[in-house]
Amino acid sequence: MSDGESGAYMSVHTVSGEGLRAAMVDQLVADHAAKGLTMRPEVEAALRTVPRELFTPGVAVEEAYRSDTAVITKRRGDETVSSVSAPWLIAEMLGQAADALGGLQGRHVLEIGSGGYNASLLRELVGASGSVRTVDIDPDVTARAMACLAAAGYGDVTVVCADAEQPIGPVRRYDLIIVTAGAWDIAPAWTAQLAEDGVLVAPLRTFGMTRSWALRRVGDRLVSHSQRLCGFVAMQGAGAHEMRYVDIADGVHLRLDEGQRVDPESVGSLLTRRREQAWAGVSLPPRTVLADLDLWLAARLANEAGQFVVLSAQQDAVDAGVVAPAWRFGTPAVLREGTFTYRSALRWTEDMFDLGACAHGPDAPAEAGRLVGHMRAWVDSGQPSPVLHVLPAGTPDGDLPAGTVLDKRHSRVVLTFTPA
């Protein structure tokens, strides 16, 4: 290929990338508005500046700019161990961080979980007076991140290969620590490396459900500023925590995350019994944040007799009518006295919907009614949003805020609710 042909090819490729990037950001701005969110101007500007295709080598440029899709960059067998996160999720987490800190200009940032693209966006946001350090446990990931960052012109981002469960040397305090791997607990090192009033944005799994929490440091504890529904590749290294799945029917599973134990055969046999359906008798608009309701149900069901679990299902099982969950990727459910109950698919009337519950077992009508009672309580309380408090393990009960307590390896996590 002659130099002229090469230049023409690069020009077409660059224009294609720029056009796709502009279309992607336009879609992200529209998605924010549909959720009742407003994208911060500086986040939008960063997304319009950074060439995402340079961080997804070997992937078609059209795939790199799909707003709703992560790009897998490394697998171990069938398991995904590294990816470039979906743009919609990156945009929301950066917005969480900037909102909690009142902007990122001049801030010093530690990113846990590398790949390069998010670090380059952060570098745009912190400006010349700020700094970004990104760390990953996998040397393949950090080597790729360094190469991609250099190719995109962000060679001043510091890349470290280490297990971020421990402090990253040289030890310093950061205004923002942003975690881009699914965590089950908050490592003490993360809190210790935060400046007072600094913010940690982390995808934390509680009750088997992951939310991106923006948590502000207040002394030795963290208190949430916001949260978003999300999903991430699991944390590796010392901070890893196994999430178990058990099959209860063909294509139907229970997700066990906080030490639960169930007999899959007995639960599966319940699904063969008649399904009872109950409705809350409410009328809600499409923008209702049902992710908040699911945490409300988790907190209340965990405080009652019985066992809270998360139901997931393959589309074939849903289509066959084996189960009718609210969301097949993770729906709150409870096992109580031989009855299995879960939040059901919505019932729509024109552009409004009602909340429902399905139950199988000897007390199915009563248990379905009990679950929709919790849903009505959430609606009657003003659809309160969850607030997460993270305190060190060993904190006395008397020093905890009132709420649902979940004990983890390093932390005592307390879930409370405030009116929306």
Catalytic residues: 85
State the DSSP string of 282-350: --B-TT--HHHHHHHHHHHHHTSSSEEEEEEE-HHHHHTTS--BS-TT-EEEEEETTEEEEEBPPEEET
279: CB partners within 8 A, 6+ apart: 347, 354, 355, 356, 372
Of 118, 95, 97, 96, the closest CA to residue 107 belongs to 97
Q: Specify the long-range contacts of residues 241-250, CB closer than 8 Å, at least 24 apart.
A: 241/184, 241/185, 241/205, 241/409, 243/184, 243/205, 243/208, 245/312, 249/317, 249/322, 249/323, 250/317, 250/322
Q: Are 210 and 204 in contact (CB under 8 A)?
A: yes
Q: Which of helix, strand or coil describes residue 11?
A: helix
- Sign of the torsion angle spanned by Cα atoms 360, 363, 365, 369: negative
Report the distance separating Cα 291 and Cα 227, nearest Å: 10
CA torsion, ordered 16, 17, 19, 21, to nearest 10 deg: 160
Nearest to 66 by CA among 87, 80, 94: 87
Q: Using alpha carbons only, what angle is made at residue 221 by residues 219 and 227, rounded to the nearest 5 degrees? A: 125
C-alpha closest to that of 111 among 88, 85, 140: 85
Spatial separation of the C-alpha atoms in residues 391 and 222, rounded to whole Å:
7
Residue with tokens 């790009």: 71
Largest CA distance in the chain: 77
Q: How far apart are CA 363 and CA 46, in angstroms?
A: 55
Sheet holding 158-161, edge to edge: 158-161, 131-136, 108-112, 174-179, 194-206, 209-218, 221-229, 385-392, 411-418, 404-407
Q: How far apart are CA 301 and CA 280, in angstroms?
A: 17
Token duo for residue 78: 């069938």
Query: What's the rounded Cα separation, in Å, for the pair 198 and 175?
Result: 5
